[in-house]
Amino acid sequence: MAQAATSLDTFPKYLLLNADRFRDRPAMRHKDHGIWQSWTWAQQLDEVRAFAVGLEAIGFARGDRVAVVGANRPRLYWTFVAVQSLGGVPVPVYADAVAEEMAYVLDHAGVRFAVVQDQEQVDKIQSFKDKIPALSEVIYDEPRGLLDYPPEGLHSFAAVQAKGRAVLAAEPERARRWEEGIRKGSGDDVSVMLYTSGTTGRSKGVMIKAAGAVQAASDTVAFDRITEHDSVLAYLPLAWVGDHYLNYAQGYVAGFCMNCPESPQTVPQDLREIAPSFYFAPPRVFEGLLTSVTIRMEDAGRFKKWMFRHFIEVARNHGEAILEKRPVPLSGRLAYALGNVLLYAPLRNVLGMSNIRVAYTAGEAIGGDLFSFFRSLGINLKQLYGQTEAFLYVTAQQDGQVRADTVGPATPNVDIRISESGEVLFRSPGQFSGYYKEDEKTAEVLTPDGFIKTGDAGFFDKDGQLKIIDRAKDVGRLNDGSLFAPKYIENMLKFFPNIKEAVAFGNDRDFATAFINIDLQAVGDWAERNNIAYASYQELAGHPQVYEMIARNVDETNRRLSKEPMMAGAQIKRFLILHKELDADDGELTRTQKVRRAFVDERYRELIAAFYDGSTEKYVETEVTYEDGRKGKIRATVRIADARVHGSPSPRAVREAAE
């Protein structure tokens, strides 16, 4: 029993340990009034203790669940550990959730307390508080605008802490009793309940147990050799597993300093000031950074432009090799060293990436060029694959073994298996103990032997790295049996700047085909430079030279596909450039700009049929909705082009060629 009481299986236990071993090292920083305020681990312990005891004073009891809503602020992070220290369960909720969604989560989780950032969140909660009888106390961080609210059930964070401090002063024994409570805490308790973002139906409460969470965090801290000397900028949504894991869980286990930005808009400046050593961002953030760099270079003088181009070329040739410590000729090393002084180091500084030792991206496919750009600047950008149900990590790339098209091998202590149907299954130390109050759904995602179904299709590449190709339900087969993963093909196409959107077809067909949407900006620029006049998207899309250009992109895609044994069968044989842009207003895309496959299939049935009946062009009329809601029709004769197929794809194609 003594063993269990002292083993480190909860985050509050790490708080006590860190306050002892890293007493005077910074634990938390927050930019406030233009100055970085910081708290050492000892001070952080003091703040958390005061809040925890204050919570008890206003009626908190063991097992209570506490909603945490707001931006990345120290007091909200302290709430996590304070609640855990009392045997309660924090439930972070997305701050931008509308009242209705928030009400659902708070009601479903049965929270009794809510700790929120500001007036906006208080207003939201008060709008539905009557309907959730369990919810009794709301605690806010920023008092602005809340001073004249009725005080029943409403407390300021500072007031709760003051209550706690008063109790601690009056009862000298109290602090010791609180610490004893932490030491008695069990790793079997639920550490946190993370609600999924709910893109597929109602969001579900993913329960993560303390011991597993600590174990998972320890594994990845060791994997990337993270220490108390590292630092992070906590800017990801508080309620997302990534933030809770990368900043909170790893932070407590490794003892590093978490930095909270001044406001969501100041993140780029704060990033630059803090220059964290560990960084995570989804691919679209890196894309945005590259775009802003490119645009600003367009405005630069001729010499600077030349210098930029020259040294980016040097970096492209040698940067990744130097990062991975592969052999590089001396001349390359010298050129890179000069480039580092003149360009890469200042650029890294501007991006706030001067001190990055480990950076990750995940969530969607990242373009090879984009990925290489950052790596060639000397930023150790890697990929990981994870899920809320795994408490983040399933796979991660090791330093030096990094590729843009894979997500790495299983992280330590994680087992991965590919099911018969090609779905990725895993078992991990941090894996969830179930969806809260939804045993049926829990059973649905578990295999009989305890593996979790990810819903993603993937396979292991030659070098043992996992490759995610698509959502499992979208993956199909061509008639000859070869694998057809539409999103994989589409992503490959979309990495070309000229292609904005693509939709691939081929399930239960003889060969793969694709609709292409050109990127009006990129192709329009090209047309302007080449004196090609056009009046509309439709005209540009149908231009023979544009077809030629896209055909080259499709050809390149096929060449890349042909090199992958699993994918070579599904090369694009025919394609067309769609006469209109796919648009959410017409129902072709979701509001988050994802293709609605079933709808597109139905709407463009005639064009898809034309792919397979051998026509070279097809006349279509398509109804469109204008911005003001009026409807109209676009008429066009769409040309269907053939693409070259590489290597030796399906046996059937070979036979055809022989005939």
Partner 1 sequence: MNAHAAGSQFTAADDDGVAKGDTLLEVKNVSLSFGGVKAITNISFDVKKGEIRAIIGPNGAGKTSMLNVINGFYTPQEGTITFRGQQRRAMKPHHAVRQGIARTFQNVALFKGMTTLDNIMAGRSVHMKSNIGWQMLWHGPALAEEIEHREKVEEIIDFLEIEHIRRTPVGKLPYGLQKRVELGRALAMEPSLLLLDEPMAGMNLEEKEDMSRFIIDVNQQRGTTIALIEHDMGVVMDLSDRVVVLDYGKKIADGAPDEVKNDQSVIDAYLGVAH
Residues that bind partner 1 in the complex, under the rule CB under 8 A: 31-35, 144-145, 147-148, 262-263, 265-266, 269
Quick one: tokens of 136?
């009794």
Identify which of residues 47 and 270 has a Cβ nearer to partner 1 in the complex. Answer: 270
Q: C-beta of 350: minimal distance to partner 1 in Å?
A: 14
Identify which of residues 267 and 520 has a Cβ nearer to partner 1 in the complex. Answer: 267
Q: C-beta of 150: minimal distance to partner 1 in Å?
A: 16
Identify which of residues 147 and 535 has a Cβ nearer to partner 1 in the complex. Answer: 147
Q: C-beta of 227: minimal distance to partner 1 in Å?
A: 31
Q: What contacts 619, CB < 8 A, 6 or more positions away? A: 635, 636, 637, 638
Q: C-beta of 581: minimal distance to partner 1 in Å?
A: 26
What gap in Å lies between CA 425 and CA 446, rounded to an integer? 9
What gap in Å lies between CA 430 and CA 444, rounded to an integer? 19
3-state secondary structure (DSSP) of residue 110: coil
Whole-number CA gyration radius for the chain: 28
Identify which of residues 145 and 481 has a Cβ nearer to partner 1 in the complex. Answer: 145
Q: What DSSP designation does 398 have?
A: P
What gap in Å lies between CA 651 and CA 659, rounded to an integer? 13
Q: C-beta of 489: minimal distance to partner 1 in Å?
A: 40
What gap in Å lies between CA 362 and CA 240, rounded to an integer? 13
Q: C-beta of 263: minimal distance to partner 1 in Å?
A: 5
Identify which of residues 273 and 583 has a Cβ nearer to partner 1 in the complex. Answer: 273
What gap in Å lies between CA 324 and CA 356, rounded to an integer? 15
Identify which of residues 147 and 598 has a Cβ nearer to partner 1 in the complex. Answer: 147
Residue 418 CB-density burial (10 A; 0-12 exposed, 13-18 middle, 19+ buried) = middle
Closest CA to 606 of 505, 523, 521: 505
Identify which of residues 269 and 616 has a Cβ nearer to partner 1 in the complex. Answer: 269
Q: C-beta of 153: minimal distance to partner 1 in Å?
A: 22
Q: C-beta of 239: minimal distance to partner 1 in Å?
A: 22
Query: What separation, in Å, do the N-terminal and C-terminal C-alpha atoms of the chain show?
Result: 78
Other residues' Cβ atoms within 10 Å of the Cβ of residue 560: 17
Structural element, H or E, at residue 30: strand 26-32
Identify which of residues 120 and 399 has a Cβ nearer to partner 1 in the complex. Answer: 120
Identify which of residues 76 and 414 has a Cβ nearer to partner 1 in the complex. Answer: 76
What gap in Å lies between CA 202 and CA 196, rounded to an integer? 9
Residue 230 CB-density burial (10 A; 0-12 exposed, 13-18 middle, 19+ buried) = buried
Residue type, 450: G
Identify which of residues 262 and 519 has a Cβ nearer to partner 1 in the complex. Answer: 262
3-state secondary structure (DSSP) of residue 94: coil
3-state secondary structure (DSSP) of residue 41: helix
**Do 315 and 376 meet the contact criterion of CB atoms below 8 Å apart?**
yes
Other residues' Cβ atoms within 10 Å of the Cβ of residue 64: 20
Closest CA to 41 of 4, 74, 5: 74
Q: C-beta of 346: minimal distance to partner 1 in Å?
A: 18
B/e letters for 29-40, b = 16+ CB within 10 Å, e = fewer, are bbbeeeeeeebb
Q: C-beta of 10: minimal distance to partner 1 in Å?
A: 35
Residue type, 419: S
Identify which of residues 144 and 529 has a Cβ nearer to partner 1 in the complex. Answer: 144
Closest CA to 125 of 506, 144, 454, 146: 146
Q: C-beta of 270: minimal distance to partner 1 in Å?
A: 9
Identify which of residues 38 and 433 has a Cβ nearer to partner 1 in the complex. Answer: 38
Q: C-beta of 149: minimal distance to partner 1 in Å?
A: 12
**Do 483 and 506 meet the contact criterion of CB atoms below 8 Å apart?**
no
Structural element, H or E, at residue 277: none
Q: C-beta of 334: minimal distance to partner 1 in Å?
A: 37
Identify which of residues 145 and 450 has a Cβ nearer to partner 1 in the complex. Answer: 145
Identify which of residues 31 and 209 has a Cβ nearer to partner 1 in the complex. Answer: 31
What gap in Å lies between CA 596 and CA 618, rounded to an integer? 23
Name the percent of the chain in helix, strand, coil, to the closest 5.
Answer: 45, 20, 35
Q: C-beta of 147: minimal distance to partner 1 in Å?
A: 7
